[in-house]
A = this chain, B = another copy of it.
Amino acid sequence: MGPKLGIVAGGGELPGLVADACRAQGRDFHFLALRGHADPKVIGDGPADWIRLGEAGTGFERLRQAGVADVVMIGPVRRPTISELAPDLRTARFFARVGLKALGDDGLLRAVAAELEHEGFRVVGVHEVLADCLAVAGAYGQLSPDAQAEADIARGVEVAKGLGALDVGQAVVVQQGLVLGVEAIEGTDRLLARCGELARDGVGGVLVKLRKPGQDRRIDLPTMGTATLAAAKQAGLRGIAVEAGGALVLGREAVAVEANRLGLFVIGIEIVA
């Protein structure tokens, strides 16, 4: 167990999983929950301060008061509009420095990480606190991709790498060599729903999720769990490929069981740069 962990919490269930991991290790933690993003049910009765995104000054202060040394940033944060931000002085100075154009892409998250370090915190990656969730190489369940699925995965990797290099998306759906959809900011759920409607007859496609080239693993990793499997099944896919060491698979055992139940494959693939 390490020093007290600050969990800057965005949306979804990931912040809760980090807290669970801390509890399991007997490690102290403190949530800095982002209002409008973090889910109160996920934060639960854990020690927490709630702030708006625009209250960086308050946030740094709260983390310090809580005695936090390491900080992890976890869970999606929708790009704010300026009016939502209503930045405090500290935040306004920050935006003046990084430039508002940083808003909305990985640049913002990288800048926030740099700012946290500048304030004396150590920014740790979710893969360090949720090491069990980092995707491993190989099949998670009983099924593996056949030759067509392998070819679709290869095409998906090619496209996802190209997209990632442009700092756009992390996810691609390919069916029989045809790219059904690529993800920008809409999220994997919407991508899958759309691709379900666009799917062609014959054997179903695959979802490929990769880390962006050069992506800071401390900040944002592509993620999948049993809900992703359900959405993939609904969209007529045959399986999901994630980057080994570059994606999070939430609940290895649960994912394997659900993949088997649905008749899908889940596979961690090694990506060479």
Contact = CB atoms under 8 A, between A and B. Distances in A.
Interface of A: 79, 81-84, 101, 103-105, 151, 158-159, 162-163, 165-166, 168-169, 176-182, 184-186, 190, 194, 198, 200-202
A184 B166 CA distance: 16
Contacts of A179: 166, 168, 184-185
Nearest to A159: B166
A188 to B, nearest CB: 14
A133 B103 CA distance: 38
A178 B81 contact: no
Contact of A198 (B165, B182, B186, B202): B186
A177 B82 contact: no
Given A194-B190, A194-B194, A178 B83 contact: no
Contact of A201 (B82, B181, B201, B202): B82
A159 B79 CA distance: 20
A101 to B, nearest CB: 5
Given A81-B202, A181-B186, 4 more contacts: A162-B166, A169-B182, A180-B185, A181-B184
Given A158-B166, A162-B165, A165-B162, A79 B194 contact: no
A81 B162 contact: no
A245 to B, nearest CB: 24
Nearest to A178: B104
A162 B158 CA distance: 12
A27 B105 CA distance: 53
A178 B198 CA distance: 25
B83 A177 contact: no
A83 B200 CA distance: 11
B194 A186 contact: yes
Which residue, A165, A176, A202, has most C-beta atoms of chain B within 10 A? A176
A198 B185 CA distance: 8
17 contacts: A81-B200, A103-B176, A104-B200, A105-B178, A159-B166, A159-B168, A162-B163, A162-B165, A168-B179, A169-B182, A178-B185, A179-B185, A180-B184, A181-B186, A182-B182, A182-B184, A186-B194
